Amino acid sequence: LQENKRIDTDNLDFSIYNPSIDDFSSLDFREDDNSDPLKVDEFIHKNPKHYVDNHVSTIFTVRHHKEIAAFFTVSMSSIRKKDIELDDKINVTFSDYPALLLGQIGVDKKFRGRGLGQYICKYCSGFGQRLNNDVACAFLILQTTKELAEKYYESKCDFRWKKSNKDIVWMYRKLF
């Protein structure tokens, strides 16, 4: 029954990934059919430190009541004006807009369907808003499958996207 309850947000802990403490080896970030189209599971199990050491991803470990439940990565990035819906374009000369990239997001199979993915998206929006105080940041962005875009990020997490028939699409959420 515990598995069906919404995540207890007072007992969530977000910390920068520490390879000597955070053991992801027994966690499963594949889709329900065991596929891994966005290579989320592969990323965290195959030398994630390489991304950190090369300054391309910051990895966050998310614990629920001290147990690892999820991870995500963030990086500085930008989104092309052509991937933004007409209504959301900004009237400036830039051909792309500054954005915070939610590069990978994975909720362990055991913790799914309890609102954690949506909470992480909100957390990252707040993160982008804070960053904007020092370095301009207009959007939170991610790349995902068309299926998840429709069934999850658009309907549950307030992301928008320029509809296309591509298998992998860019999505964005305005920070302001």
The reply on whether position 117 binds ligand COA by CB under 6 A is yes
State the nearest-atom distance from the C-beta of 106 to ligand COA, in Å: 4
The reply on whether position 113 binds ligand COA by CB under 6 A is yes
Find the binder of ligand COA among 106, 127, 139, 140 (CB under 6 A): 106
State the nearest-atom distance from the C-beta of 168 to ligand COA, in Å: 9
| 162 within 8 A of 87, measured Cβ to Cβ | no
Within 3-62, the residues that bind ligand COA by CB under 6 A are 29, 31, 38, 40
Angle at 117 between CA 28 and CA 61, to 5 degrees: 60
Give the range of 13-21, 50-58, 126-134, 141-149 binding ligand COA by CB under 6 A.
141-149
Categorise residue 112: left if φ over 0, alpha if ψ from -120 to 50, beta otherwise: beta
Angle at 35 between CA 84 and CA 62, to 5 degrees: 70
State the nearest-atom distance from the C-beta of 7 to ligand COA, in Å: 8
The reply on whether position 77 binds ligand COA by CB under 6 A is no
The reply on whether position 156 binds ligand COA by CB under 6 A is yes
Rounded to an integer, what distance in angstroms lies between the CA atom of residue 124 and that of residue 137? 12
Instruction: Please identify which residue in the block is written with the tokens 């955070």.
Output: 22
175 Cβ contact partners less than 8 Å away, ≥ 6 residues apart: 100, 125, 128, 129, 132, 137, 138, 139, 140
Binding site for ligand COA (CB under 6 A): 29, 31, 38, 40, 105-107, 112-118, 142, 144, 148, 151-152, 156
